């Protein structure tokens, strides 16, 4: 495996690719260390491609810049099923791989919902749904107030998480104020009990966001969507994956 | 007190680039001049209290010092989980400044009352709670809170004492009784009715504008005299929020000391009545006559 720096604070690894998914084969073994021999949690699978593209191609963060004020921020709002998140963090060197062997054990730093105080590289503790986007709006505003123009804030949510009304407070406010440095990513596996008639993107665009809806398994499409934000408005990427079994 | 808060917060925005104010429409017009000067640090999110506290948590994560402001019932009761998770659990702090304490908003009814705010914050970790009894106590408390990153609640009220006592961060004796006289602890604006209630009674009255952290050392010292005189000390707590909010702390502070205690404050019942704050003070027994009745009955 080689590591090449492609931008300040941004490292890209080239590694053995799984022939089918575009994911490095090592992620599979890291996930198995987290989950034992059991079948992986479906929600962990659903976020894996988006997380990999973020950390491998988009986010300007590395273990060395995890505390740098100029780093991009990634907030996992959808704190459920964080195995994929931990596997990516381990793969990118934020946490030691052996941490994966004791998920949610009494001495483990890795639980079924992540805690920013316990895990290097984790920006927020999450689990209760509907908190990440509000925190992300606050981080974006705090960066702006301090003249830190480079960092971008990415918040990953689930389609069912959008049921929580707190998200809609943040969506409306960020849109109304043109908070351009935030990107929401909604992982849509159609798990919201009452669905989103008219689509998820429209919940954002009606408030002035730009939106891209993509195949949540297509890495190039995800990357293109994640980098197609505009300078005058917040951006949402709806990443569609198959519904949970 | 609200004017003192707005003036001080506006000055802090000028003086300290870490200061940010987050509003949910309440008092937005009063902060309009400051917002024109500091548009990136005076943020009105509209009538969205969950977002108000979430934004404060995000600002704090970037190193700013957010001041969050609304009615107590919206800033604390409504946004309780945001206080718990977006501040406490993230390991960051904010200064939450409320108006509409307990029944200050009597004429607006139960929906605008929050007698349980301090009790709710007691379920969280490491909140300092200031309950000023006079507008002149507000600037010093807010300026001190703006200098660090801890969690602070500043509970403003329209009920005020005759004189400011800005140094009363710990229990401060305002009226000294005999050596084994019962102790009356008055929090914030309760001092005024307490001093009128105890006329002619042999009690010691101690005041504080900072009930959290509770002044355990000061309390032990104040009851120590009675204990060493061989008496069982009697302590009366008079708080402007839910009755008994500090009872557990009082009990813990005096854990090894035989004592009697009475906790006075706002009752739990929704009275479903409007009127003036003075009416609610009377209905809850927190006017001078009601306090005197309770205290003399307790002391026997």
Element (H, E) at A174: helix A165-176
What is the per-residue pLDDT for A10?
Answer: 38
pLDDT confidence of residue A11 = 40
pLDDT exceeds 60 at position A156? yes
If one compares A181 and B257, the residue with the highest pLDDT of the two is A181
- For residue A60, give the nearest of A133, A154, A124 by alpha carbon: A154
**Neighbouring residues of B83: CB distance < 8 A, sequence distance ≥ 6:** B53, B76, B96, B121, B124
Calculate the average pLDDT of chain B.
97
Contact A140 B86 (CB under 8 A): no
Asked whether residue B115 falls in the same domain as residue B205, the answer is: no
Q: What average pLDDT does range A178-190 have in this prediction?
A: 97
- What's the pLDDT tens digit per position in A214-228? 999 999 999 999 999
Whether B276 and B225 map to the same domain: the answer is yes
Nearest to A146 among B56, B62, B85 (CB): B62
Which residue of A124, A145, A166 is in closest CB contact with B51? A166
pLDDT score recorded for residue A43: 44
- Among A129, A144, A145, pick the best mutation site for testing chain B contact (most B Cβ within 10 A): A145
Share of chain A above pLDDT 70, in %: 87
Q: Are residues B69 and B179 in the same domain?
A: no
Q: Does A172 touch chain B (CB under 8 A)?
A: yes
Neighbour-count burial of A65, counting CB atoms closer than 10 A to its CB (0-12 exposed, 13-18 middle, 19+ buried): middle
**Are B135 and B250 part of one and the same domain?**
no
Does the pLDDT at position A44 exceed 80? Answer: no
- Angle B279-B281-B287 from CA coordinates, rounded to 5°: 110
Using DSSP, state whether B173 is helix, strand or coil: strand
Taking CB atoms and an 8 Å cutoff, what residues of chain B touch A68?
none
Give the C-alpha separation, A127 to B85, whole Å.
10
Q: Are residues B264 and B291 in the same domain?
A: yes
Contact at CB, A135 and B64, closer than 8 angstroms: no
Residues of A in contact with B90 (CB under 8 A): 116, 124-125, 135
CB contact under 8 A, B58 and A116: no
- Residue A38: pLDDT band with limits 50, 70, 90: low
Looking at the complex, report in whole angstroms how far the Cα of residue B125 sits from the nearest Cα belonging to chain A. Answer: 15
B147: which residues sit within 8 A by CB, 6+ positions away? none
Q: Least CB-CB distance to A145: which of B20, B45, B48? A: B20
Take residue A83 and report the two structure tokens written for it.
């195995």
Under an 8 A CB cutoff, do A131 and B54 touch? yes
The domain boundary residue, chosen from B155, B186, B212: B155
**B213 and B288 assigned to the same domain:** yes
Asked if B41's CB is within 8 angstroms of A137's CB, the reply is no
Q: Looking at the structure, do residues B177 and B151 belong to the same domain, yes or no?
A: no
- CB–CB of A69 and B63 under 8 A? yes
Beta carbons of B63 and A146 less than 8 Å apart: yes
Residue B188 or B300, more confident: B188
**Among A82, A2, A52, CA closest to A220:** A52
Q: Which of B101, B124, B155 is the last residue of a domain?
A: B155
Q: At what angle do helices A219-226 and A42-53 cross, to 10 degrees?
A: 60
**pLDDT at residue A21 in the model:** 66
**Per-residue confidence at B231, pLDDT binned at 50, 70, 90?**
confident
Residue A37 pLDDT > 90: no
Cβ contact B46:A173 at 8 Å: yes
Distances (CA, A) of B266 to A69, A236, B128: 46, 47, 21
Are B110 and B234 within one domain? no
B147 & B37 share domain: yes
Which chain A residues touch B17 with a CB distance below 8 Å? 146
CATH number at residue B186: 3.40.50.920
Residue at B166 is within a domain: no
Query: Confidence class of residue A7 from pLDDT cuts 50, 70 and 90?
Result: very low
Structure tokens given for B102: 């307990």
B225 and B116 housed in the same domain: no
SS3 B236: strand
**pLDDT tens track for B261-280:** 999 999 999 999 999 999 99
Q: Phi, psi at residue A192, to the nearest 5°?
A: -65, 130
- pLDDT at residue A1, as a whole number: 32
Max Cα-Cα span within chain B: 63
Residue range B66-71: average pLDDT?
Answer: 98
- Does any domain span residue B60? yes
Chain B interface, mutation test: which of A142, A152, A174, most B Cβ atoms within 10 Å?
Answer: A142
CB contact under 8 A, B58 and A125: no
Judgement on whether residues B225 and B281 belong to the same structural domain of the protein: yes
Contacts of A220 (CB under 8 A, 6+ apart): none
Query: Which residues in chain B are closer than 8 Å to A69, comparing Cβ atoms?
Result: 62-63
Residue B167 forms part of a structural domain: no
Tens-place pLDDT, residues B8-65: 999 999 999 999 999 999 999 999 999 999 999 999 999 999 999 999 999 999 999 9
Q: What is the pLDDT of residue A135?
A: 98
Q: Which of B197, B209, B208 is nearest to B173 (CA)?
A: B208
pLDDT for the residue numbered A2: 34
Q: What is the pLDDT of residues A192-202, one digit of tens each?
A: 999 999 999 99
Structural domain boundaries, residue B235: 172-299
Assigned domain for B163 exists:
no
The rounded distance, in Å, linking the Cα atoms of B109 and B200 is 36
pLDDT score at B160:
98
Tens digit of each residue's pLDDT (9 = 90 or more) over A135-151? 999 999 999 999 999 99
Mean pLDDT of chain A: 89
Q: Do B56 and A125 touch (CB under 8 A)?
A: no
In the predicted structure, residue B116 carries a pLDDT above the cut 80:
yes
What is the nearest CA distance from A245 to chain B, expressed in angstroms?
A: 31
As a whole number, mean pLDDT of residues B273-290 equals 98
Q: Report the pLDDT value the prediction gives residue A45, as an integer from 0 to 100.
A: 72
Domain-ending residue, one of B129, B155, B181:
B155
Same domain for B207 and B86: no
Q: Does domain A41-79+122-240 have CATH number 3.40.50.300?
A: no
A136 interaction partners in chain B (CB closer than 8 Å): 58
- The reply to whether B68 falls in a domain is yes
For residue B72, the domain's CATH number is: 3.40.50.970
* Percent of chain A whose predicted confidence (pLDDT) is above 90: 81
Is B50 close to A169, i.e. CB distance below 8 A? Answer: yes
Determine which of B17, B38, B42, B45 to mutate to test the interface with A (most A C-beta atoms within 10 Å).
B45
Which residues of chain B lie closer than 8 angstroms to A134, CB-CB? Answer: 50-51, 53-55, 57-58, 82, 86
* Number of domains comprising chain B: 2
Distance from CA of A219 to the nearest CA of B (A): 29
């Amino acid at each position: 495996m080689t590591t090449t720096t492609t931008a300040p604070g941004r490292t890209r690894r080239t590694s053995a690719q799984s022939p089918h998914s575009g994911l490095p084969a090592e992620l599979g073994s890291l996930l198995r260390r987290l989950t034992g021999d059991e079948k992986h949690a479906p929600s962990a699978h659903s976020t894996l491609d988006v997380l990999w593209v973020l950390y491998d191609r988009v986010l300007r963060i590395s273990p060395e810049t995890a505390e740098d004020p100029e780093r991009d921020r990634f907030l996992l709002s959808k704190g459920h099923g964080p195995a994929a998140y931990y596997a990516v963090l381990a793969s990118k060197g934020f946490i030691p791989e052996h941490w994966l062997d004791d998920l949610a054990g009494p001495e483990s730093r890795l639980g079924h919902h992540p805690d920013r105080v316990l895990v290097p590289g984790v920006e927020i503790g999450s689990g209760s749904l509907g908190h990440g986007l509000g925190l992300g709006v606050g981080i974006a505003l705090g960066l702006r107030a301090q003249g830190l123009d480079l960092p971008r804030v990415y918040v990953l949510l689930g389609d069912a998480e959008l049921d929580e009304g707190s998200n809609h407070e943040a969506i409306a406010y960020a849109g109304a104020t043109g908070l351009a440095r935030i990107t929401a990513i909604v992982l849509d596996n159609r798990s919201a009990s009452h669905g989103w008639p008219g689509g998820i993107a429209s919940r954002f665009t009606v408030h002035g966001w730009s939106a891209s809806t993509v195949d949540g398994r297509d890495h190039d499409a995800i990357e293109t969507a994640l980098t197609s934000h505009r300078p005058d408005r917040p951006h949402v990427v709806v990443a569609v994956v198959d519904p949970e079994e | 007190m609200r004017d003192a808060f707005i003036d001080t917060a506006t000055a802090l925005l000028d003086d300290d680039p870490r200061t940010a104010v987050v509003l949910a429409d309440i008092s937005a017009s009063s902060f309009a001049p400051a917002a024109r000067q500091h548009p990136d640090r005076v943020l009105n999110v509209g009538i969205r209290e969950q977002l108000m506290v979430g934004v404060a948590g995000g600002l704090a994560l970037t190193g700013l010092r957010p001041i969050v402001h609304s009615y107590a019932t919206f800033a604390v009761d409504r946004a309780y989980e945001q206080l718990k998770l977006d501040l406490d659990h993230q390991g960051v702090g904010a200064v939450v400044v409320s108006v509409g304490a307990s029944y200050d908003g009597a004429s607006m009814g139960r929906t605008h009352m929050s007698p349980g705010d301090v009790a709710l914050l007691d379920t969280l970790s490491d909140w300092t709670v200031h309950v000023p009894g006079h507008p002149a106590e507000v600037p010093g408390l807010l300026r001190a809170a703006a200098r660090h990153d801890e969690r602070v609640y500043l509970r403003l009220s329209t009920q005020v004492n005759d004189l400011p006592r800005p140094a009363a961060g710990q229990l401060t004796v305002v009226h000294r009784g005999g050596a084994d006289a019962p102790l009356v602890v008055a929090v914030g604006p309760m001092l005024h009715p307490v001093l009128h209630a105890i006329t002619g009674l042999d009690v010691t009255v101690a005041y504080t504008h900072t009930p959290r952290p509770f002044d355990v050392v000061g309390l032990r010292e104040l009851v120590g005299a009675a204990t060493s005189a061989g008496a069982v000390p009697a302590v009366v707590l008079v708080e402007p929020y839910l009755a008994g909010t500090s009872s557990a702390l009082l009990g813990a502070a005096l854990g090894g000391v035989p004592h009697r205690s009475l906790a006075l404050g706002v009752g739990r019942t929704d009275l479903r009545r409007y009127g003036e704050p003075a009416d609610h003070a009377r209905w809850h027994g927190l006017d001078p006559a009601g306090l005197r009745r309770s205290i003399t009955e307790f002391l026997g």
